[in-house]
Amino acid sequence: MSFRRSENGTAKLWALWTRELLDSHPEAECEELTRLAASLCGTPIGLVTLLDERQQWVRASDLFKLGETPREIAFCAHAVRQQGLFVVKDALLDNRFGTNPLVTGDPPLRFYAGTPIVTADGHVLGTFSVLDLTPRILTADQAQVLEVLSRQAAARLELKMQRGALDQALIEKEKAGANLRASEELFRAFMNASPFLSYIKDAAGRLLFYNRAFAHRFGISEYSWLGRSDEQLWQRTIKSVRTHDLEVMAGGGIVETEEQIRGTDGKISTLRSYKFPCHDSAGNVLLAGVAVDVTDDVAQKSELERYHQELEDANDQLRRLAVTDELTGLRNRRAFEERLVMEFSMARRRKRDLAVLLMDVDNFKKINDRFGHASGDDVLRRLGNILRTTVRLPDLPARYGGEEFVVLLPESGEESAMGLARRLMQRIAVEEWENEPVTISMGMAAMNESLQNGYQLVELADEALYAAKRAGKNRVMVHSG
């Protein structure tokens, strides 16, 4: 993991957070994750802290209210300076924090464990942490829980910035974390109050516990599936489910997956599941799991991807329209001139042939005046089709403007260009025009060493075109200079 801390980037990022997140209680975005972290780590407090250059923002709980805290006394300011988990087992015995107001105040903060919340592009937003008023030591599994849940917190907070409207905070019932171990009854009350699905299996795959959300999701009572095995519940997917569960139990860490399930109403929901091994009082390895419904998140992400694709398609269409003549479907003058610059440069550098044919519809104004502009447009469209179907693949036919057309002929000298000109004249002569025969006048110019740019080549072809007009029209003239 690498962190970026540019001043400009931090300032821009915090400007966005100040507007969109701080006023809307950002801790609600990760409330269930912080509560889960506190529950799994055995601490009374789990929180998300947001940092800027001077302060930290946090609302932990009624037990330990911080609000806005100066950065110089914040534990989280130390956590963001390193990669991975930052742990203070007993702040009172730590030289860095022994005189810290948070440690010497009432109530005194004694234990801290936190890891940076980092966006996908490396910006540090704050920390994900758990706190206690008494010293303690985290297990390796608890440490891994914090790091995994921190990544989930980063994903949720980053998604809120991107959408500007994420409001997926899960409402918790009465806090029961501090008394979770007191009895099975309190444990069940806490789990049933949580909005996420929870369950525990033994090594044989039998359900030992599931909460009310789990029961509601599958349309069962709170006790009807207790003692039932994977084989009895998931006949179609038993092999894959059982294999995955055994791998998690053997691996010793938290495994995150996404699953799709069909509810009692027939609708398919997407759950983000976290599985991890735990032990009963006799030391037997069990499998615990929690799952959060992310159906809306997945749907919104899919909608965002679809929107981006539609936007890209629209941009592609705009790019095509920018270089295409709408009436004839040929390239427009802009596209022709861009290609002309490139081909002329290449022809000069590699000493290759290059020619231009410039043509104009004879008596086009009379066609419009006599038969109407619709007939004139039809003449231009049909001439565009004749050009497109007569030229070679490397050639570029384009509408130059009004009733003028142009063809750029790479690696074609005077003889080759005149051959194309004659074929075009023949095609136009035999075409069955709607009202009366159509003729064109054409000027041709070929590359020579005196030319400095492609526009001069077009000017020579234009001079030849006007010579054809003066000579009686319906003909091709070659620039002789």
Q: Dump pLDDT digits (tens) for 8-19.
A: 444 444 444 444
Above 50 in pLDDT, residue 314?
no
- Both 114 and 218 in a single domain? no
Residues 6+ apart with CB under 8 A from 214: 197, 198, 199
Question: Would 173 be classed as within a structural domain?
Answer: no
- Both 457 and 367 in a single domain? yes
- Both 232 and 260 in a single domain? yes
- Both 330 and 465 in a single domain? yes
Percent of the chain with pLDDT over 70: 78
Q: Dump pLDDT digits (tens) for 191-233.
A: 778 778 888 888 888 888 888 888 887 788 888 888 888 777 7
Question: Would 249 be classed as within a structural domain?
Answer: yes
56 vs 372, which has greater pLDDT? Answer: 372
Amino acid residing at 179? N
Q: Look up the CATH number of the domain holding residue 274.
A: 3.30.450.20
Answer yes or no: are the C-beta atoms of 348 and 453 closer than 8 Å.
no
Question: Would 316 be classed as within a structural domain?
Answer: no
- Both 147 and 190 in a single domain? no
Above 50 in pLDDT, residue 169?
no
Residues 6+ apart with CB under 8 A from 70: 54, 55, 56
- Both 75 and 151 in a single domain? yes
Confidence of residue 176 (pLDDT cuts 50, 70, 90): very low
Residues 6+ apart with CB under 8 A from 233: 207, 225
- Both 7 and 136 in a single domain? yes
Q: Dump pLDDT digits (tens) for 86-145.
A: 999 998 998 888 888 888 888 888 999 999 988 888 888 888 999 999 999 999 999 898
Question: Would 193 be classed as within a structural domain?
Answer: yes
Buried b (16+ CB within 10 A) or exposed e, 394-428: ebbbbbbeebbbbbbbbbbebeebbebbeebbeeb
Residues 6+ apart with CB under 8 A from 109: 64, 75, 91, 100, 102, 103, 131, 133
- Both 362 and 451 in a single domain? yes
- Both 21 and 155 in a single domain? yes
Q: Can you tell me the mean pLDDT for 338-342?
A: 94
- Residue 8 pLDDT: 47
At CA 385, angle to CA 318 and CA 431, rounded to 5? 160
Residues 6+ apart with CB under 8 A from 204: 229
Answer yes or no: are the C-beta atoms of 454 and 343 closer than 8 Å.
yes
Q: Look up the CATH number of the domain holding residue 85.
A: 3.30.450.40
- Both 440 and 329 in a single domain? yes
Question: Would 313 be classed as within a structural domain?
Answer: no
Q: Dump pLDDT digits (tens) for 352-397.
A: 999 999 999 999 999 999 999 999 999 999 999 999 999 999 999 9
Last residue of a domain, one of 166, 198, 214: 166
Q: Can you tell me the mean pLDDT for 403-424?
A: 95
Above 60 in pLDDT, residue 20?
no
Q: Dump pLDDT digits (tens) for 436-455.
A: 999 999 999 999 989 999 99
Q: Look up the CATH number of the domain holding residue 341.
A: 3.30.70.270
- Both 124 and 198 in a single domain? no
Above 70 in pLDDT, residue 172?
no
Question: Would 310 be classed as within a structural domain?
Answer: no
Question: Would 430 be classed as within a structural domain?
Answer: yes
Mean residue pLDDT of the chain comes to: 81
Both structure tokens of 9:
């980037």
- Both 161 and 195 in a single domain? no
Answer yes or no: are the C-beta atoms of 397 and 407 closer than 8 Å.
yes
**What's the pTM?**
0.39
Q: Which of 437, 429, 442, 438 is nearest to 469 (CA)?
A: 442
Confidence of residue 6 (pLDDT cuts 50, 70, 90): very low
Strands 197-201, 124-132: pairing is unpaired
Q: Which of 394, 399, 382, 381 is nearest to 337 (CA)?
A: 399
Residue 360: which domain range?
A: 323-478
Above 70 in pLDDT, residue 462?
yes
Question: Would 80 be classed as within a structural domain?
Answer: yes
Above 80 in pLDDT, residue 266?
no
- Residue 175 pLDDT: 57
Domain count, the chain: 3
